[in-house]
Chain A
């Protein structure tokens, strides 16, 4: 078989210039990546091996911070709170956003208006929506307890009670289901209608069509939303920072909040860096597991499904 002469040795001047131009074009991005992302990532790993109070030079301590994590009860509490949040808010959000997307995919009047209404909360800045939810959860004047009082129920203290604080934040997380809903909607509208027609010819009813056509065809979108929502859930911070400061009784001590407190309130940047690396590895592991599982449950139209 004929081969081209070694491309490495015989690049034409034009090709070389084009390559140079190409590199120059990506240089700003490359520099940004190096300076603002790669270097801080590597630096954070180095800091995780130090005792670093931010305002004093770091002192190398080896793996001491990582060993300390094992004995730190608040680390385990933060991990527990975050994991509960991830395994509850993520599936709840996925199911609710999928259900809304299915509704929004129907031919109903003012559907564009409904879609806008459901999507709108995602446009509200987190700080603003957090303040709004503080009011909603206010046990005395809040919307939630006022509604409950109408039906004769005296609502709980919500954020003020250690048993209700985390569920409150999980409920609040459903406020932004409009984002994944929009992605689901795009996916639903991309399902070829001939599949439904074929199913109807086979005598499939609404439920069978959903189960045999819609759901399998949507699995790549569900997979994408699952990965994204899971990562966001692991990194949740602002809500607890503003609303509860991790309380009461550490009931909402999210991992990133604990990390922040260590870095900037308790002068333990080295320990916080170790926390960050553990979180990174945890997210990496969970993402890898979900990716691995995708071979079983995600169906790509262009592929022959492996069995």
Chain B
């Protein structure tokens, strides 16, 4: 019987659509159960794919060189290092994982570990750590707050990183100031900044690389006794007057005292401290090697103390090595991570960051590598006053919400009270959508 062409075509298109939908519904990503530490399936030499974003030739070479002694000591394991661009690294890793093509080990930023762990991307390293009796007390850097999730551990230490306070000593000298004392306060910080600021020459007392919570302004929130989230990580606490007082101090640096430019002045610049026209720079530990090339005298300073609360706080957040749950050679991959976390790995990379092992960070060899700067300041502040980044499975989403709202403080568009009110409303709405299994 004759059928109109349009009707026949519609039928065919619908059939094709149904077929493709059925096809895709059966294409489930390859996902191993979270935390299931399978033993290596392969016998004999195996290749472990270790993915990292490239951080320059020197860094890449340091990682490859660091792994050489491991390969020499473990002839059955060959480590294939895959360097990728940092832009889009996390996106690519997700799609690789979904397609069953992920590497065995990946470098992770602090905001990727728990979100990935909560979704089964990474293997819980705790059973390996316990079985191999890894001495976690040998590390000054607490890993659990950063990479722990529901009792498991999903990251192995690459560095102990986070916030660092850089001081331009040449500018200090030119202003007639001494290097800040170890117990300097927020008042001292302001006084220093006021003396070093010179609008006529575009010289600023203070600059913050990344300002919005949970980045560097957070150390001031903690300084006044506030927090960004509650202890359970399920409620925004920025509306607490204590948290608001910390943010207000930073806002005053910009708007009241005018010793710090608004963050928008950072546009187009990688690091304003490198210009030599910033006295005190709240930056990241990862910026040290670039600052080292800047051509002026500088050093690390302790974070200042809030004299009212007696609190000193520094933000931590670092890179980790994580084991992908799709890895077929988890035993061998763990051995690589164990090595990188250990003396060999931490010593191998110590020129490029702060090692987390006490024995390495407290060694003369490490100090000599960073001379004439006093690197003890960094790790001592981390060990005693470090605070985590409030990692949660929805980290990126609530960070974005907080960042959108608090940015209005620095531009003068909103008061601290208004911005934190809106930020907390947005964050709590995000948290309200969480699935029940995300309880810590």
Q: Which residues of A contact B (CB under 8 A)?
A: 39, 42-43, 45-47, 53-58, 60, 131, 134-135, 137-142, 157-163, 243, 245-250, 261, 264-267
Contacts and interface: CB of A to CB of B under 8 A. Distances in A.
B60 interface: no
Contacts of A53: 119
Interface string B269-282: 10000000000000
Contacts of A245: 400, 403
B198 to A, nearest CB: 14
Interface string B12-38: 000011001100110011010000000
B407 interface: yes
B98 A265 contact: no
Contact of B95 (A54, A139, A140, A243): A54
B183 interface: no
A267 B119 contact: yes
B407 A140 contact: no
Which of A42, A47, A131, A158 has most B Cβ within 10 Å? A42
Contact of A248 (B90, B115, B411): B411
Contacts of B97: 54-55
Contacts, number: 120
B263 A46 contact: no
B29 A264 contact: no
Which of B90, B261, B264 has most A Cβ within 10 Å? B264
A249 B408 CA distance: 7
B437 interface: no
15 contacts: A42-B20, A54-B98, A55-B29, A55-B94, A56-B119, A57-B28, A139-B267, A140-B261, A140-B265, A141-B268, A243-B267, A249-B404, A249-B407, A264-B94, A265-B396
Which of B25, B267, B394 has most A Cβ within 10 Å? B267
Contacts of B407: 160, 247-249
A134 B269 CA distance: 9
Contacts of A157: 262, 264, 411
B413 interface: yes
Nearest to A134: B268
A227 B269 CA distance: 36
Given A42-B17, A161-B413, 13 more contacts: A42-B24, A54-B29, A54-B98, A137-B268, A138-B264, A139-B262, A159-B267, A160-B263, A249-B413, A261-B400, A265-B397, A267-B115, A267-B119
A42 B404 CA distance: 34
B67 interface: no
Interface residues of B, number: 42
A171 to B, nearest CB: 15
A246 B97 CA distance: 28
Interface of B: 16-17, 20-21, 24-25, 28-29, 31, 90-91, 94-95, 97-98, 115-116, 119-121, 202, 261-265, 267-269, 394, 396-397, 400, 403-405, 407-408, 410-411, 413-414
A287 to B, nearest CB: 21
A55 B268 contact: no
Contacts of B404: 246-250
Contacts of B20: 39, 42-43, 46
A56 B264 contact: no
B267 A138 contact: yes
B265 A139 contact: yes
A57 B400 contact: no
Nearest to B269: A138
A58 B413 contact: no
A207 to B, nearest CB: 43
Given A57-B31, A247-B404, A162 B411 contact: yes
Nearest to A57: B28
A159 B263 CA distance: 10
A307 to B, nearest CB: 32
B191 to A, nearest CB: 24
A266 B394 contact: yes
A250 B419 CA distance: 13
B394 A134 contact: no
Given A139-B264, A249-B413, A57 B408 contact: no
Given A46-B21, A55-B120, A248 B408 contact: yes
Nearest to A268: B397
A138 B95 contact: no
B392 to A, nearest CB: 12
A58 B25 CA distance: 7
A174 B407 CA distance: 27
Given A157-B264, A266-B394, A42 B116 contact: no
A203 B203 CA distance: 65
